[in-house]
Amino acid sequence: MSEAKQRNFWENDPEENESEKFAIPVEMTWEEAEKVAQETRSQINLRGWCLWRLRNLKGRKICLIRDYNVRNYPTEYPAFSLEELEMLPDDMPNTTLNLIIRAKILGDAIIESVEERNK
């Protein structure tokens, strides 16, 4: 049995590969997610921000920042503070996240609270 090819989420930028398509959602293992979380924490501790490409949202990029006191992050991408990220539910649909990102792009919005609606 051959080993599965390890994916490197940090060095191989799909934007540089013209054949890369974002039509197929990517499922990450818990181990892969933990590696991404560790690298994210490392980058945020080092420089205050980390750029993410959201493959399940057609490759859209967002910038995770420690907080809104960070000034040296790439402002051409919508920014999410770690506090905002913690407010978002784990089971939030991609369509809702896409709307939040659009609100941030169009209105420089900041998430102040997230209230769950009764179903």
Would you state the pLDDT for residue 108? 76
d(CA 38, CA 11): 15
pTM for this model (two decimals):
0.71
Count CB neighbours of 93 within 10 A: 9
d(CA 52, CA 49): 10
At 5, is the pLDDT very low, low, confident or very high (cuts 50, 70, 90)?
A: very low
User: Which residues on adjacent β-strands are paired with residue 79?
Assistant: 63
Three-state secondary structure call for residue 56: helix
pLDDT in tens, 39-87: 999 999 999 999 998 877 778 899 999 999 999 999 999 999 999 989 8
pLDDT in tens, 21-41: 565 666 778 898 899 899 999
Does residue 114 or residue 40 have the better pLDDT?
A: 40
Task: Indicate the domain borders of the chain.
Answer: 27-107
DSSP conformational letter for 112? -
At 91, is the pLDDT very low, low, confident or very high (cuts 50, 70, 90)?
A: confident
